[in-house]
C-alpha cells in the first residue's frame, strides 16, 4: 500500500485527471451532488427532529390530560348520560393504583372551555383572562418559565390558601405601565385582591394555554369559585420508561371503577395523550431520517456509478496510453492501482466538497428558519454519519474503480498499441 | 545479446490458424545495428513483438543477454521490458498530456527512481537528442521528427540492453527520417544494440546488417556496408 503515500503516484494521478478537466469536473459534480443531497436531507431531518423536540420541551413527553364526560352505557343501576365529575379523591386513588404515574396535577379553570373568563382589574385598567387553579406539581409536567424575581405557586400558597397569582406577559402589558414592576402589586380578580408573585413566559407548544393566563393556588380557586372537591381535569405525567398508551388505559380503568362506570364505556372519560402524539411525531421524524439516509445513499451510489462509467470511457480512450505505459514497464497492478486511485481520489474530493456544500446549505436554511414557527432547529449530521458516508464512498469508489481497472489490464499491451 | 532458436508463432483467426513465424533462428551481438526487412505480412512486426515481450512465441527459445525469456506473466514481462528494452514506435506513442521531459521520464517512474533524479536524467537524454529547449512542450507542439527524437530519448533513458524500433521512420518525410537515422547511428556508435524493423531499403542500408524475412522465414541474412545518414542531413 506504500504507493498511496508515494508522491510520484499522485503526480501521475493529477496528470491524468487533469488532462480532461471538464470531464473530471462533471464527474465530480455527480458524486458531489449525491453527498450534498445526503448531507442536506439527513441534516434537515435532524433539524425537523430537533424542532419537534424543542416544540415539546416545555411539556413532559409522556404526559396526558384526562377529563370527565358523561356515560354512554348504563351500569350498576345508573342510567345512560350521567354527567361525571372528577374529584380530589380520585387523585390519591390514581396515584396508589397506577404505578406508571410519576406526577399528577389536578387543575381547574375558568374562561377556557366556553365559560366566561374572570374580570381582572388594576386601577383604571381591566381585562378578561382565564383563571387556573393549580398545584406546584403542575410545573413538573409542563414547565412554566417564570421571569426573574418571580415564582410559581408553592406549597405554602396551597396550604394557607393564599391569594397570590402568577400572571401572563400579556396580562402584564395590558394591566401595567411599562416601567411598573408588577411583582408584589395587587390586582382584583373577580372582586378579590390577589398579590402578583410571578410572571410566566408563554411558550407556544400547542394546547389551549395563552399568554394571558392567570394561575392561582388550587385551594384559593376552590374557595373563590366554590368548586368544592371538583377537579376540572387531570394532568398526568408517566415515568419516562412507561408505556404511555398503557398508562392512559390504566388511568381510565381506575377512574371508571371509582365512578361506577361500565368498564367498556369509551365515552365516559375523555383524554388527550401527548405522549402518543409525541411518539407519532417522533416516529415521523425518524421515518424522515431513515428516508433521507436511503435517498442520500442511493444518490451517492448513483454518483459513484457515474464515476465508474466515466472512468470506463476514459480507460477506453486511454487504451493506447495504457498500452504505452505497459510497454515502458508498468506492471498490470501499477496500472490497476492508478485507475482505482483515480476513482477513489475523485470520489473523496467530491465527497468532501459535497459535505462542505451540504453543511453550508444547512446553516443557510437554519439562519432562515431561526425564530420562526416552523419546527426546525439546529440541523446537524452526526460526525459518525459523515465519516460513514466518506468510508462508503471510498469503498464504493474502489469497487467501481475495479471495473475500469480490470478492463484496462485485460487488454494486452500489444493489442492496446495496435489500436489506432 | 539476443539469441533466438526455432521460433514459431501462429495466430488463430476463427477456425483457421495463420502460421506467421515458421522457425526463426538468429543471433545478434552487442553493439549491432540490425534491420529486419520484409513486405507486409512477412512476420517482421510479430518477430519484433516477441523480441519486445509484448507477445509470446508458441515454441522456440529466446535468450536476452543470457536471460532465458519464457513463461512470462504480465508483471514479469513488464519488469523485463522496463529493464532490458527500449521501444520506438512508428506513431511515436508519446503521452499527449505530458511534456516532452515527463514523457522521457516515464520509464524511470516505473523503475521507482525519485522525481528529481528522474527529471535530471531525462533532461540529459533530451539534450542528447537535441531537444533541451523543447523539454516543457507538449507532444502536439512538436514536429514529427522532434516527437520521434523524444521517443528515442524515452527509449534510451532506462539504459536498456536493446533498442527495438518498429518502422521508426514510417511517419516521417525522408529528410527527417535521415536525421532520426543519424541519431540512431550515433547511439549505435556508443555501443548500443539496436533492432530496426523497416520496409524501406534506404533505411535498412543505414544499418550494419539486414535480415530479410519472407513468409515467416529468414530469406537472407547479410552484413552490409553502412550508409552514414549524416551525409544526407
In the 8-state DSSP scheme, what is residue B124?
Answer: H
d(CA B108, CA B117): 9
Q: What are phi and psi of B106, to 5 degrees?
A: -55, -45
Count Cα neighbours of A121 within 13 Å in the Cβ-side half-sphere. Answer: 8
pLDDT in tens, B153-197: 999 998 898 999 988 888 889 889 999 999 999 999 999 999 999
Q: Per the CB < 8 Å rule, is B106 touching A7? A: no
Stretch A47-54: mean pLDDT: 79
Above 90 in pLDDT, residue A4?
A: no
CATH code of B30-58+69-232, in short, is: 3.40.50.300
Q: Which residue of A has its CA nearest to B109?
A: A8
Element (H, E) at A159: helix A155-159
Q: Per the CB < 8 Å rule, is A328 touching B82? A: yes
Element (H, E) at A237: strand A233-238
* Chain A residues whose beta carbon lies within 8 Å of the beta carbon of residue B165: none
d(CA A192, CA A283): 48
Q: Per the CB < 8 Å rule, is B75 touching A329? A: no
pLDDT of residue A116: 85
Q: Work out the minimum CA distance from A283 to partner chain B, whole angstroms.
A: 55
HEC readout, B155-208: HHHCCCCEEEEECCCCCCCHHHHHHHHHHHHHHHHCCCEEEEEECCHHHHCCCC
Q: Which residues of A touch chain B, with CB atoms under 8 Å apart?
A: 7-8, 11-12, 15-16, 18-19, 320-321, 323-334, 409, 412-414, 417, 420
* Chain A residues whose beta carbon lies within 8 Å of the beta carbon of residue B109: 8, 12
* Chain B residues whose beta carbon lies within 8 Å of the beta carbon of residue A326: 74, 78, 81
* Chain A residues whose beta carbon lies within 8 Å of the beta carbon of residue B49: 414
Q: Work out the minimum CA distance from B224 to partner chain A, whole angstroms.
A: 31
Q: Per the CB < 8 Å rule, is A329 touching B81? A: yes
Above 90 in pLDDT, residue B207?
A: yes
Of B49, B54, B115, which has the smallest distance from its Cβ to A7's Cβ?
A: B115
The answer to whether B54 faces chain A, any CB pair under 8 Å, is yes
Lateral strand order in the sheet of B33-37: B85-88, B162-166, B193-198, B33-37, B209-214, B217-223
d(CA A51, CA A62): 18
pLDDT of residue A339: 86
Above 90 in pLDDT, residue B147?
A: yes
* Chain A residues whose beta carbon lies within 8 Å of the beta carbon of residue B93: 320, 323-324, 327, 417
The answer to whether B81 faces chain A, any CB pair under 8 Å, is yes
The answer to whether B232 faces chain A, any CB pair under 8 Å, is no
Of A19, A324, A331, which has the smallest distance from its Cβ to B97's Cβ?
A: A19
Residue A160 pLDDT class (50, 70, 90 cuts) = very high
The answer to whether B149 faces chain A, any CB pair under 8 Å, is no
pLDDT of residue A205: 54
Q: What is the torsional sign of CA B136, B139, B142, B146?
A: positive
pLDDT of residue A166: 93
Between A9 and A35, the more confident residue is: A35
pLDDT in tens, B43-98: 888 898 899 888 888 899 999 888 888 888 888 888 899 989 999 988 889 988 88
pLDDT in tens, A183-196: 888 999 988 999 99
3-class SS at B91? coil
* Chain A residues whose beta carbon lies within 8 Å of the beta carbon of residue B95: 321, 324-325
pLDDT of residue B229: 87
d(CA B39, CA B37): 7
* Chain B residues whose beta carbon lies within 8 Å of the beta carbon of residue A321: 95-96
pLDDT in tens, A343-362: 888 888 888 898 899 888 88
Of B78, B95, B115, which has the smallest distance from its Cβ to A329's Cβ?
A: B78
d(CA B139, CA A366): 52
Q: Where are the domains of chain B?
A: 30-58+69-232
pLDDT in tens, A358-373: 888 888 888 887 766 6
Between A245 and A3, the more confident residue is: A245
Residue A25 pLDDT class (50, 70, 90 cuts) = confident
pLDDT in tens, A389-402: 888 888 888 888 88
Of A198, A152, A151, A191, whose CA–CA distance to A171 is shortest? A198
ipTM of the complex: 0.89
Q: Where are the domains of chain A?
A: 2-56+279-418, 107-228
Of A11, A18, A324, which has the smallest distance from its Cβ to B93's Cβ?
A: A324
The answer to whether B208 faces chain A, any CB pair under 8 Å, is no
Least confident of A133-147, A193-207, B161-175: A193-207
Q: Work out the minimum CA distance from A351 to partner chain B, whole angstroms.
A: 27
* Chain A residues whose beta carbon lies within 8 Å of the beta carbon of residue B52: 327
Between A285 and A325, the more confident residue is: A325
pLDDT of residue A204: 62
Between A13 and B89, the more confident residue is: B89
d(CA B222, CA B36): 11
- Strand residue runs (E) in chain B: 2-13, 16-28, 33-37, 59-64, 67-68, 85-88, 162-166, 193-198, 209-214, 217-223
pLDDT of residue A181: 86
pLDDT of residue A15: 77
Of B91, B94, B115, which has the smallest distance from its Cβ to A11's Cβ?
A: B115
pLDDT of residue A60: 67
* Chain B residues whose beta carbon lies within 8 Å of the beta carbon of residue A18: 97
Q: Per the CB < 8 Å rule, is A417 touching B52? A: no
* Chain B residues whose beta carbon lies within 8 Å of the beta carbon of residue A332: 74-75, 78
Above 60 in pLDDT, residue A203?
A: yes
pLDDT in tens, A268-312: 899 888 888 878 887 888 888 888 888 888 888 888 888 888 888
pLDDT of residue A419: 61
> Look-up: residue for cell 372551555?
A113
Residue B152 pLDDT class (50, 70, 90 cuts) = very high
Average model confidence (pLDDT) across chain A: 85
Between B36 and A3, the more confident residue is: B36
Q: Which residue of B has its CA nearest to A20?
A: B97
Percentage of residues of chain A with pLDDT beyond 70: 95
Between B136 and A6, the more confident residue is: B136
Pick the residue of B47, B95, B163, B167 with the most A CBs within 10 A to test the interface with A by mutation: B95
Q: Work out the minimum CA distance from B153 to partner chain A, whole angstroms.
A: 12
Stretch A38-50: mean pLDDT: 83
Q: Which residue of B has its CA nearest to A416?
A: B54
Least confident of A44-53, B140-149, B178-187, B218-227: A44-53
Pick the residue of B54, B79, B167 with the most A CBs within 10 A to test the interface with A by mutation: B54
Residue A319 pLDDT class (50, 70, 90 cuts) = confident
* Chain B residues whose beta carbon lies within 8 Å of the beta carbon of residue A7: 115
Q: Per the CB < 8 Å rule, is B107 touching A329? A: yes
Above 60 in pLDDT, residue A420?
A: no
pLDDT in tens, A226-264: 888 999 999 998 888 888 888 888 999 999 999 999 888
Of B194, B110, B207, B112, whose CA–CA distance to B152 is shortest? B194
Q: Which residue of A has its CA nearest to B85?
A: A328
Above 70 in pLDDT, residue B213?
A: yes
Residue A3 pLDDT class (50, 70, 90 cuts) = low
pLDDT of residue A53: 76
Amino acid at each position: 500500500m506504500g504507493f498511496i503515500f508515494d508522491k510520484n503516484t499522485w503526480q501521475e494521478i493529477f496528470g491524468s485527471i487533469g488532462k480532461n478537466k471538464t470531464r473530471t469536473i462533471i464527474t465530480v459534480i455527480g458524486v458531489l451532488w449525491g453527498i450534498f443531497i445526503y448531507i442536506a436531507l439527513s441534516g434537515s431531518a435532524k433539524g425537523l427532529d430537533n424542532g419537534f423536540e424543542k416544540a415539546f420541551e416545555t411539556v413532559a413527553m409522556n404526559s396526558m390530560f384526562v377529563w370527565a364526560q358523561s356515560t354512554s352505557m348504563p351500569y350498576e343501576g345508573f342510567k345512560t348520560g350521567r354527567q361525571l365529575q372528577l374529584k380530589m379523591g380520585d387523585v390519591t386513588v390514581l396515584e396508589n393504583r397506577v404505578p406508571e404515574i410519576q406526577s399528577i396535577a389536578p387543575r381547574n379553570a375558568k374562561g377556557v372551555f366556553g365559560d366566561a373568563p374572570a374580570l381582572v382589574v388594576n386601577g383604571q385598567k381591566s381585562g378578561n383572562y382565564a383563571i387556573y387553579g393549580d398545584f406546584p406539581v403542575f410545573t413538573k409536567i409542563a414547565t412554566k418559565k417564570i421571569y426573574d424575581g418571580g415564582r410559581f405557586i408553592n406549597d405554602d400558597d396551597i396550604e394557607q390558601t393564599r391569594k397570590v397569582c402568577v400572571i401572563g406577559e400579556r396580562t402584564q402589558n395590558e394591566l401595567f405601565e411599562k416601567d411598573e414592576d408588577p411583582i408584589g402589586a395587587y390586582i382584583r380578580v373577580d372582586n378579590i385582591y390577589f398579590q402578583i408573585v410571578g410572571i410566566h413566559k408563554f411558550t407556544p407548544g400547542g394546547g389551549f394555554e395563552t399568554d394571558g393566563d392567570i394561575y392561582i393556588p388550587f385551594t384559593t380557586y376552590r374557595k373563590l369559585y366554590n368548586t368544592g372537591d371538583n377537579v376540572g381535569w387531570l394532568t398526568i405525567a408517566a415515568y419516562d420508561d412507561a408505556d404511555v398508551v398503557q398508562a392512559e388505559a390504566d388511568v381510565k380503568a381506575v377512574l371508571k371503577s371509582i365512578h361506577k362506570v361500565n368498564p367498556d364505556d369509551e365515552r365516559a372519560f375523555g383524554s388527550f395523550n401527548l405522549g402518543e402524539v409525541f411518539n407519532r411525531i417522533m416516529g415521523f421524524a425518524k421515518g424522515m431520517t431513515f428516508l433521507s439516509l436511503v435517498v442520500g445513499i442511493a444518490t451517492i451510489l448513483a454518483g459513484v456509478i457515474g464515476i465508474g462509467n466515466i472512468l470506463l470511457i476514459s480507460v477506453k480512450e486511454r487504451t493506447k496510453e495504457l498500452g504505452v505505459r505497459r510497454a515502458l514497464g508498468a506492471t498490470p497492478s501499477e496500472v490497476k492501482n492508478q485507475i482505482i486511485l483515480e476513482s477513489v481520489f475523485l470520489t473523496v474530493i467530491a465527497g468532501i466538497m459535497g459535505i462542505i456544500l451540504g453543511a453550508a446549505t444547512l446553516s443557510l436554511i437554519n439562519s432562515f428558519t431561526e425564530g420562526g414557527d416552523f419546527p426546525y432547529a439546529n440541523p446537524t449530521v452526526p460526525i459518525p454519519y459523515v465519516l460513514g458516508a466518506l468510508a462508503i464512498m471510498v469503498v464504493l469508489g474502489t469497487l467501481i474503480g475495479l471495473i475500469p481497472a480490470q478492463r484496462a489490464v485485460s487488454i494486452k499491451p500489444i493489442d492496446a498499441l495496435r489500436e489506432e | 545479446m539476443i539469441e533466438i532458436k526455432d521460433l514459431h508463432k501462429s495466430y488463430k483467426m476463427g477456425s483457421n490458424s495463420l502460421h506467421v513465424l515458421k522457425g526463426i533462428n538468429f543471433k545478434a551481438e552487442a553493439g549491432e545495428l540490425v534491420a529486419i526487412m520484409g513486405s507486409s505480412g512477412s512476420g517482421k512486426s510479430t518477430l519484433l513483438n516477441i523480441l519486445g515481450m509484448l507477445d509470446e512465441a508458441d515454441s522456440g527459445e529466446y535468450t536476452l543477454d543470457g536471460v532465458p525469456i519464457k513463461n512470462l506473466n504480465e508483471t514479469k514481462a513488464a519488469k523485463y521490458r522496463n529493464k532490458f528494452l527500449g521501444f520506438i514506435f512508428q506513431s511515436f506513442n508519446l503521452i499527449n498530456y505530458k511534456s516532452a521531459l515527463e514523457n522521457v521520464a516515464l520509464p524511470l517512474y516505473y523503475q521507482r527512481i525519485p522525481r528529481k533524479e528522474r527529471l535530471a536524467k531525462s533532461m540529459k537524454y533530451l539534450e542528447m537528442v537535441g531537444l533541451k529547449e523543447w523539454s516543457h512542450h507538449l507532444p502536439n507542439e512538436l514536429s514529427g521528427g522532434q516527437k520521434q527524437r523524444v521517443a528515442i530519448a524515452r527509449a534510451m533513458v532506462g539504459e536498456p540492453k536493446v533498442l527495438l524500433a518498429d518502422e521508426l521512420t514510417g511517419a516521417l518525410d525522408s529528410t527527417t527520417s535521415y536525421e532520426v537515422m543519424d541519431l540512431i547511428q550515433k547511439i549505435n556508435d556508443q555501443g548500443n544494440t539496436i533492432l530496426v524493423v523497416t520496409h524501406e531499403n534506404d533505411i535498412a542500408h543505414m544499418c550494419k546488417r539486414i535480415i530479410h524475412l519472407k513468409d515467416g522465414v529468414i530469406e537472407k541474412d547479410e552484413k552490409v556496408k553502412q550508409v552514414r545518414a549524416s551525409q544526407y542531413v
